[in-house]
Structure 1
């Protein structure tokens, strides 16, 4: 499993290094998971399906609290109706149950329980982790590392569906960044060194042992600089843990929780409609790619083409969340460039639902957002 995770991270790194513009990773296999078992007995299978269901809930919500929800916990005891298929595999001598779930039903269950739904489009995070070995020597964990810290990071990344990169720590990185930069939280220096990786966020983290356990600190930064010209953290924590495994798990959970609060959507009621116009969509292949992307967003409840003219296509989108949340989600994708509205714009209107006998109400104008598609 860890070798598989390492390979996936390597693919993310390869794409991140050549992409002209950073954009979030489209996380695959959010419906699939594997659980180790001791035998093919029914009891072992039932336990594996329950554990697999819980892993899928965590991967699609990003929330540990979702597992405690009464509706979801009750389904965990009888998940068979949500399982699309399962099968056994011998993986290096360990018997595994590979399973896939009905992702539509999983998302519907999360919405019904008022839990977050985290779409497949997720931020890519570069993690600069200052680790400490048994002799107390500190070093930055590289992409090629096989240390406990590296393996724990990749394992937690796979469990949460949280795409991460580790720095190459080649000559360029080694000249630009040292242990003291991470330890001292010199964000501007690390921000400059992070630019080559084209990620959405970067994190500086360190773990250090003491007599009672492990102390750790974490700071998360967006790729954008502030109006003052400096990078500003969006998340900072400094805590203690019983061991390194727990410390890394808590840091990864904190990063996931931040992204869920910003990019996931909770609830099943529609929050309204918005018009989205995209320029530079003149080919059928571009339109298909764009529609596939829009439909993959957790915020999208429904999608209807409104018009298409002179290479510009407009969709009416029914939302689970707010327009602001949609803009945050769209800002993750480097194929989209937001544009100003045309000066000669004629507003579109949304007619409110009316019951018989109610007084006629004026139609409310729909918010209209404009983007250029660079897919």
Structure 2
């Protein structure tokens, strides 16, 4: 498992890790993983399709939801198929270029998702705390600009990670501690100094995910203060109900991210299975959970999806003007 004096220019191969200790069951464990991936693909595609085809949902909140679904779909697609190859065909080797490309997509898409979650939090803050200004601030044009900014921000902050990795020299173990390539994992295999990688990686995480999570927290502090000042219990429940789905999605994204970061920086002595499990939870849970949460909490998405599947009827056809109202409950 060693290769002496081998540098980046020789394009070394890295070895991915499946599920340590469960190698004999890899073939069967891949089936539930594949099922989860199919749920993520179908669920996120359904969200995009429903919002696109339902005029009542053509509003900034649902456009942000479409962006979130697209990012989740891309994030799961750039990791899970490669993991299925590993489990079904024992294809552990990944080329250096493929590893760098996967690294770029994972970190960039994670940064984009963090920005979109922040934009959704600000949307809820303005809608609840400053409802009269919401329509003038969150226009469709502004929503498109925020989406573009999220992409530019993700690329600008995380493109340097694979570029910094190119300068590293690898002369020891090639075995990664995950089923995919991320910067922290590949960096730890380098022989020389990785201080620039450590400093920039930590800076990028703090300025994107760290700052976003702080601003989301501040937004919800303002939301909670406004909700508590509402005169009736029904109004408080209605206002807070519009935030439940977003809070669930935020927790599903940031809790595994924080756990994975802690494991990488302070858990080098932990069993390898802990690293693998945390990494897979971080990449698999949000894409699977997000469309389920929003599908269950958003009446319009739920009704439209049921109508497409032929299970329910479109109640809006019996209530003229109902299509103009969107509620989350």
TM-score scaled by structure 2? 0.24
TM-score scaled by structure 1? 0.22
Higher strand share: 1
